[in-house]
Amino acid sequence: MGNTPPHHAETREFFVGGERVSASANEYLVTRNPSTTEPIARVAAAAAEDVDAAVTTAREAFPAWRDTSPDERGRVLYRVGQMIRENRRELAEIESLDQGKPISQAESDMDGAARYFEYYAGAADKLEGTSVPVGTGQVDFTVREPYGVSAQITPWNFPGNLFARGVAPALVAGNTAVVKPAEQTPLSTLELAELCAEAGVPDGVVNVVTGYGDPAGKALSSHSDVDTITFTGSVPTGRAIMKQAADNIVDVTLELGGKNPAVVFPDADLASAAKWITTAIFTNAGQVCSAADRVVVHEAAHDELLERIVARAEAYEIGTGEEDLDMGPLASEEQLEKVRSAIKSAREAGATLSTGGRVLDRPGYFVEPTVFTDVTPGMAIAQEEIFGPVLSILTVSNGEEAIEIANDVEYGLVAGVFTSDVTRAHRIARRLEAGNVYINKWFGDTVQTPFGGYKASGIGREKGQEALDSYLQTKNIAVNISDDDDDTDRPAA
């Protein structure tokens, strides 16, 4: 770990080239504990020249890391995973303090971060190409090569875990990385970057610049020496990054928002469905891209399911991350105001507040677990991502209507089906417009399973072997072994 945990430090600098680097303009932002609103640390705020220096450092480190033997890259990444496990509690304390989530949830996030490095470490010497059968006069094969400098722009809801989700596959493929964490939650990312260095990742291979989306994030995503971009966050920012990347003809991987439906049929185990749905909407105070924020329930199951969900929501204990209760605060005052506004808008639109809806009268950014029923598909609360502990319940009379409403949003990240009819489950899953579908559970994806969205929810896939496609490009090599020097071969049309 770094010499001084950030919650004891007054100032945190960038981590570039294996060392802490000060902001060129001497500008700093303040990160705050969302449980108390008290300041934690001053964090360097990058200007465009700071981003340029980090990208230059990553570019200079790239050839040596690319040419490091795959098995050695794998060993280094595995050591990172082991060190995350060894420092799990301290990393979780930092994450909980900076982001607000209960400490046990932060520990689970760090277990996941370790697992990413361990999983991709095992892939290092298995990134194989193919042999292409083109005839007897030529040997033709492909190799998979790294892009170069990977820009990683990460969000504030799972900062440490998503650092690992992007950096681990980028590094195992032979790329170097420049990471720009969200300004609200930079501390665990800085710690993890230093931990990478301690584990043996060479200087300049992992770099972190902190600061605001503009100028720091914008400077990174538009930098002409960046070769591939990975972004997790909002749809508007994703669109802006795509436009910036287009100017430089750079590949992008985007994991954007969701408005995820849980489709519940009368033959489902409603006690189990209520458990999964409340977990899926209230974990991390609903600040999860794959949260189950819409329930599309058959009218025959509506009343019982609502009763069970409300009972579970009202039993939730809310407190600081350190108290480690069921739910912590929202991550920032800005997010609290967004959630408060969405609740107000839903009530004005005619949705029925079944429970919750209050901002707690205490320090910090706390809001109760909230459930609305009598929601109709056209309401903003049924269409727009809220990113808070707010559940909308819509009622349908048959399966066709359920599919239509489930798909009637611009997003397509995840969806769920709750039914005891296995045929129905498969049939509905095939028709849901989502990158991941869970059946009789939620959060069914793992480190090994590909994750990403349809429609406005994104491009490309994170996690699993498919994530490596974001960090490797294919080169075809054709070798002439013919005895005939005839040059009649022509380019294919």
Is residue 58 domain-resident?
yes
Question: How many domains does the chain contain in total?
Answer: 2
Q: Residue 13's domain spans which residues?
A: 6-256+457-475
Is residue 37 domain-resident?
yes
Residues 355 and 471 both lie in one domain: no
Is residue 116 domain-resident?
yes
pLDDT at 484: 76
Is residue 444 domain-resident?
no
Distance CA 298, CA 420 (A): 14
Residues 118 and 21 both lie in one domain: yes
Task: Identify any residues that bridge with 217 across adjacent strands, giving them in sequence order.
Answer: none
We report the CATH number of the domain holding residue 98 as 3.40.605.10
Residues 265 and 248 both lie in one domain: no
Contact between 469 and 460 (Cβ < 8 Å): yes
Residues 212 and 275 both lie in one domain: no
Helix (H, G, I), strand (E, B) or coil at 7: helix
Is residue 78 domain-resident?
yes
Report the run of H or E that residue 488 belongs to, with start and end. Answer: none
Residues 150 and 268 both lie in one domain: no
Is residue 15 domain-resident?
yes
Residues 300 and 184 both lie in one domain: no
Is residue 470 domain-resident?
yes
Q: What percent of the chain has pLDDT over 90?
A: 96
- Which residues are marked as active site? 255, 289
Please identify which residue in the block is written with the tokens 């600081």: 320
Report the run of H or E that residue 466 belongs to, with start and end. Answer: none
Residues 180 and 301 both lie in one domain: no
Residues 267 and 252 both lie in one domain: no
pLDDT at 45: 98
Residues 327 and 381 both lie in one domain: yes
Is residue 238 domain-resident?
yes
Residues 236 and 269 both lie in one domain: no
Whole-prediction pTM value? 0.94
Contact between 112 and 92 (Cβ < 8 Å): no
What does the block give as tokens for 256? 């954007």
Distance CA 166, CA 232 (A): 10
- Compute mean pLDDT per 10 residues along the chain, 493 residues long, and list them: 46 97 96 96 98 98 98 98 98 97 98 98 97 96 98 98 98 98 98 98 98 97 98 96 96 97 98 98 98 98 98 98 97 98 98 98 97 98 98 98 98 98 98 98 96 97 97 98 71 61
Distance CA 408, CA 378 (A): 9
Residues 249 and 278 both lie in one domain: no
We report the CATH number of the domain holding residue 423 as 3.40.309.10
Residues 68 and 168 both lie in one domain: yes
